[in-house]
Homo-oligomer: A and B are copies of this chain.
Amino acid sequence: MESFAIALDAMGGDHGPEVVVPAAIDALKRYPSLRLVLVGNEESLERLVASADHRVRERLSIRHTSQMVGMDESPAVALRGKRDSSMRVAIDLVKQGTAAACVSAGNTGALMAMAKFVLHTLPGIDRPAIATALPTIQGHVHVLDLGANVDVTPAQLVQFAVMGSELASAVDHKAAPRVALLNIGAEAIKGNEIVKQASALLTDTELNYIGYVEGDGVFMGEADVVVCDGFVGNVSLKTTEGVAKMIGHYLKLEFGRNLATRIAGLVALPVLRSLKLRLDPRRYNGASLVGLQGIVIKSHGGADGLAFTHAIDEAVKEVANDVPSRIRNHLQQRLQAKVAS
């Protein structure tokens, strides 16, 4: 693979450069054709990269910025007033072609607003969506939108389906990913109007649309891509985190109950560790802002080094498979098919 650069918002997230720089150094060791641009306060960054091996250091550049976007700052304020922030400059580097992608652990709203403003959406996409992979009993599933779009139209859900399908196809190398719409109970009063209309539209597309999936089916691996509005997607994502945390809490509690259970816990520890590793949310860190003319990856704000590394991995995968071009081509072909018919 040819050499390529990724820009990292080194000041974003709860931990800033302390987490970003070690993750960057680790990524450079693993990807020999990767170059990284650390965007942020030069002085702090220089100090942190000082100890890096020279073979790594020569593929690491620093781009000084004077501003930072706060985690609770309003997107509109950040967009207007933070043109020399680490977040904004990282996105600008993608726009200029200096970087093939950028990664930020900063404020989601500000990142989305800046990315939309600087990079624009792809032709045929009204609004970008946030996509992430979640574990299932069969591997993983790509879910979108996770919070960028609270109110959506049926046509927008179809756009999400196209973006999700191309994302899954690109990074998982699947020819025809199974795309499903998230809907409610087979026996309850079914669905809402928007989901029903989106389903009718999806049946007419070239996508491998398999129909509805319910909240539990998502984790049974019934689909490769699950499409929903950002409100439902965000609640679902957070519910997943909450349930996993609660089960972890009770596992600890039950194993800590008395001497016998503590001994059982020691015996079971390696197994419980591999379970934890398998479902470790850090392994799923790195949500994709899809639908833009460029690759923007959002890391969890509280990400540690391992988690941030996975966000960089996601960026590398999307660069290697040129996800935005795939989405663009897909939409163009559809448009041409419509014109021809």
List chain A positions with a Cβ less than 8 A from chain B: 71-72, 75, 107-109, 112, 135-137, 146-148, 150-151, 182, 184-189, 191-193, 214-220, 228, 230-232, 234-247, 249-251, 254-255, 257, 261, 263-265, 267-268, 270-272, 274-275, 278-279, 301
* Copies of this chain in the oligomer: 2
Question: In the complex, which of the residues B109, B238, B271 contacts A254, with contact meaning CB atoms closer than 8 Å?
Answer: B271
Q: Which residues of B contact A147 (CB under 8 A)?
A: 184-185, 188-189
B189 touching A136, Cβ below 8 Å? no
| Chain B residues whose CB sits within 8 angstroms of the CB of A264 once the complex forms | 267-268, 270-271
**A189 touches which of B112, B184, B265 (Cβ 8 Å):** B112
Q: Other than the known A185-B234, A251-B275, A254-B271, what 11 A-B pairs have Cβ atoms closer than 8 Å? A: A108-B188, A109-B189, A135-B246, A187-B301, A214-B234, A214-B238, A216-B238, A240-B243, A246-B279, A264-B271, A265-B271
Which B residues touch A188, using CB under 8 A?
108-109, 146-148, 230, 234
Q: Which B residues are CB-close (under 8 A) to A232?
A: 231-232, 235
Please, how many angstroms separate the alpha-carbon atoms of A218 and B148 in the complex?
21
Closest chain B CB from A14 CB (angstroms): 11
Check if B261 sits within 8 Å of A271, measured CB to CB: yes
Q: Which of B215, B246, B251 contacts A238 (CB 8 A)?
A: B215
Asked whether B247 lies within 8 Å of A274 as measured between CB atoms, the reply is no
List 5 interface pairs A-B (beta carbons < 8 Å), by A numbering: A108-B185, A215-B238, A215-B240, A264-B270, A265-B271
CA distance in complex: A146, B214 (Å): 13
- In Å, the complex CA distance between A182 and B278 comes to 29
Shortest CB-to-CB span from A112 to chain B, Å, is: 7
What B residues does A301 contact at CB under 8 A? 187
Residues of B within 8 A of A279 (CB): 246-247, 250
Q: Determine whether the beta carbon of B247 is less than 8 Å from that of A184.
A: no
- Verify A255–B271 contact, CB threshold 8 A: yes
**Cβ-closest chain B residue relative to A246:** B219
A99 to chain B, nearest CB (A): 24
**What residues of chain B lie closer than 8 Å to A182, measured between beta carbons?**
235
Q: Which 4 A-B pairs have the closest CB atoms?
A: A215-B238, A216-B242, A219-B242, A147-B188
Q: A111 — nearest CB in chain B belongs to which residue?
A: B187
Q: Contact between A244 and B243 (Cβ–Cβ < 8 Å)?
A: yes
For residue A230, which residues in chain B have a CB less than 8 angstroms away from its CB? 184, 188-189
B245 touches A243 (CB 8 A): no
Specify which chain B residues have a CB less than 8 angstroms from the CB of A108 in the assembled complex: 185, 187-189
Q: Hey, which chain B residues are within 8 Å of A249, CB to CB?
A: 137
